[in-house]
Amino acid sequence: MSLFDWFADRRKNAPAVRNPQDSEEGGGLWSKCPDCGLVVYRKDLVANASVCKGCGYHHRINSEERIRLIADPGSFEALDTDLAPTDPLAFKDRRTYADRIRDSQHSTGLRDAVVTGLCRSSDLPLALGVMDFRFMGGSMGSVVGEKLTRLIEQATALRMPVLIVCASGGARMQEGMLSLMQMAKISGALQRHRQAELLYIPLLTHPTTGGVTASFAMLGDLILAEPKALIGFAGRRVIEQTLREKLPEGFQTAEYLRDHGFVDVIVDRTKLRATLASLLRIHGYPATVPA
């Protein structure tokens, strides 16, 4: 066997480099940017908040990583960790809803698609809710609605600002009307929070769609978004067939929505903590939580 043939054989049998697009959380030693193709060490990508240094592409991150980027170390205190979904409609399509819940819980280690808690960010108080797209596409069921409502109500009682990181395909169809009711419940809690003259900020990440967009994602005093995030209610095809009009390219991107007044600021993930600190200080929140 020639030296060329030996190297060719080694290359053919070598394990393939994993691409983070194969698993949204990435994995392995290397990561390849799906936008510009830059290959970097996975640890270097994570150290840069999972943002590509070549083109600024924002890789999808899970709730644990998101909390680590926003909350001061050791400050996050999770709320309502015992709440778990049930199957009130005994729903079944190709699989039962109960099986889907069980599989998502096993693969993510979460009870449902949102993690809520109180924390400090840059030594400032913050009530934080983080949706996790890994759990059934971040869909909003009864538990997601209940946890977010309780978070907002506790923030109102403690006079704390609220940040909700949105990442969702919308309402969870397996819970039917019970899922849709969460839109009104969360919106009502946010209205009471606003009447108390307290700050609410949603951060729209890729993707934010459906009933989440149609409710609390668009009710912020200031609406932030990550670059190039997909934000909308229905898909392009559904809208075009309903309106019978051709829609402009990129009409559901964060940039388009900012230019047309639906999003206030697009914030690079690496600058999010500093931006939040500035916004909280501008709105008069102290460095200590009121008693």
Residue 11 pLDDT more than 60? no
Residues 38 and 115 reside in one and the same domain: no
Q: What per-residue confidence (pLDDT) applies to 97?
A: 97
The percent of residues above 90 in pLDDT, for the chain, comes to 88
Q: Does a structural domain hold residue 287?
A: no
Residue 46, in any domain of the structure: yes
In the structure, what pLDDT confidence band is assigned to residue 17 with cuts at 50, 70 and 90? very low
Ranges assigned E (strand) in 2-87? 30-32, 39-41, 77-78
Closest alpha carbon to 31 in 14, 13, 5, 51:
51
Residue 120 lies in a domain: yes
Tell me the average pLDDT across 39-57: 95
Range of the domain at 139: 61-282
* Co-location of 26 and 67 in the same domain: no
Residues 214, 263 within the same domain:
yes
Cα 23 versus chain centre, distance? 16
199 CB neighbour count, 10 Å cutoff: 21
Residues 175 and 116 in one domain: yes
Report the alpha-carbon distance of residue 128 to residue 152 in Å, rounded.
9
Q: Determine which of 46-60, 78-92, 274-288 has the lowest per-residue pLDDT on average.
A: 274-288
Query: What is residue 25's predicted lDDT score, i.e. its pLDDT?
Result: 45
Q: How far does the chain reach from its first CA to its final CA, in angstroms? A: 77
| Global pTM value | 0.88
Flag whether 22 is in a domain.
yes
- Of the candidate ranges 150-159, 178-187, 234-243, the one whose mean pLDDT is the lowest: 234-243
Enter the tokens of residue 241.
Answer: 């067939």
Peptide bond into 227 cis (omega under 30): no
Task: For residue 123, name the pLDDT band (cuts at 50, 70, 90).
Answer: very high
> 139: domain CATH number?
3.90.226.10
- Find all residues with CB under 8 Å of 133, minimum gap 6, and list them: 24, 60, 113, 167, 168, 169, 207
User: Two tokens at 115?
Assistant: 């993690």
Residues 50 and 70 placed together within one structural domain of the fold: no
The last residue of one of the domains, among 59, 75, 99, is 59
Same domain, 216 and 110: yes
Residue 211 within any structural domain of the chain: yes
Q: Give mean pLDDT, residues 213-224.
A: 98
The answer to whether residues 12 and 132 belong to one domain is no
Contacts of 274-277 with C-beta under 8 Å, sequence gap 24+, read 274/122, 275/224, 276/70, 276/121, 276/122, 276/124, 276/126, 276/163, 276/201, 277/121, 277/122, 277/124
- Amino acid identity, residue 48? N
Examine the domain organization and report whether 248 and 266 are in the same domain: yes
Give the tokens for residue 248.
């402009």
Domain end among 18, 41, 59:
59
Which helix (H) or strand (E) segment is 258 a member of? helix 254-259
Under 8 Å CB-to-CB from 90, ≥6 apart: which residues? Answer: 96, 97
The answer, yes or no, to whether residue 203 has pLDDT greater than 70, is: yes
Please indicate, yes or no, whether residues 121 and 227 belong to a single structural domain of this protein: yes
Instruction: Let me know if residue 288 belongs to a domain.
Output: no
Q: Do the Cβ atoms of 110 and 84 come closer than 8 Å? A: no
| Band (5; pLDDT cuts 50, 70, 90) | very low
Residue 22 banded pLDDT, cuts 50, 70, 90: very low
Assess whether 221 and 259 both reside in one domain: yes
One domain, residues 223 and 243: yes
Residues 32 and 105 in one domain: no
Residue 289 within a domain = no
**pLDDT exceeds cutoff 50 at 13:** no
Distance, CA of 291 to CA of 279 (rounded, Å): 22
